[in-house]
Amino acid sequence: MSEEARLRDEICFMAKSLFDRGLTAGSSGNISARLSDGRLLVTPTGSSFGRLDPAKLSCLEVDGRQVGGDKPTKEMPLHSAFYETRSGKTGAVVHLHCSHCVALSLLPDVDPENLLPPLTAYSVMKLGKVTLLPYFMPGDPGMGDAIRGLAGRRSAVMLAAHGPVVAGKDLEAAVYAIEELEETAKLALLTRSANPSLLSAVQIGQILHTYDVEWD
């Protein structure tokens, strides 16, 4: 099986797993992944993660021209911005509308520079800091500009009243990281009024040093 065929199958497999577990619904969410020659495979606009066809995934050249498949997601500005600003670190981008993440983005007293409280080591390891970006209309190119404004300092962002976007070195890493983001958002909501114990600055520093996590 060729690299492209394997990646097409992997995108559809991961997408269905996310859909089946309720991490995205209807035709929401999108995934892109980069081939070794620089082309991107992208989930089509208006498609359901539960019923993707590997043969119909959009294929884009390095310059963004579509060369195969159905029309790509209208959220391509999100994906393009991560590939541009985190070149060499991004092999895949995943965007979901998962409920706990969206709920956390709606609360009035969260820290927009570091949305997730440091509840577990794994959220720090897999995500670093998560920046909360303002609300944009779906498909607004301004979303990409907002990510570019971070100058590659973040691998994960939350779009207010919309959902998370996570870049990873490959598809598996991006999916695992966005799953961790949703689980940590859930924990943050569950413990919000309980004054939970957070990781200390020393504990966070140990994680950052041991796992070479981006934090500044």
Q: Which of 112, 32, 37, 116 is nearest to 80 (CA)?
A: 32
Instruction: For residue 122, indicate whether it is catalytic.
Output: yes
Count of Cβ atoms closer than 10 Å to residue 58 Cβ: 22
Residue 173 sits at φ, ψ, to 5 deg, of -65, -40
Q: How far apart are CA 104 and CA 98, in angstroms?
A: 10
What is the SS3 assignment for 50? helix
What does the H/E/C string look like for 7-48?
Answer: HHHHHHHHHHHHHHCCCCCCCCCEEEEECCCCCEEECECCCC
Q: Which residues pair with 42 in a beta bridge?
A: 32, 58
Token pair in block for residue 95? 């965007």
Q: How far apart are CA 80 and CA 99, in angstroms?
A: 25
Of the residues 83, 122, 135, 176, only one is catalytic, namely: 122
Q: Which residues pair with 48 in a beta bridge?
A: none
Q: How far apart are CA 130 and CA 71, in angstroms?
A: 30
Q: Which of 116, 92, 83 is nearest to 10 (CA)?
A: 92
What type of residue sits at position 73?
Answer: T
Q: Which residues are catalytic?
A: 122
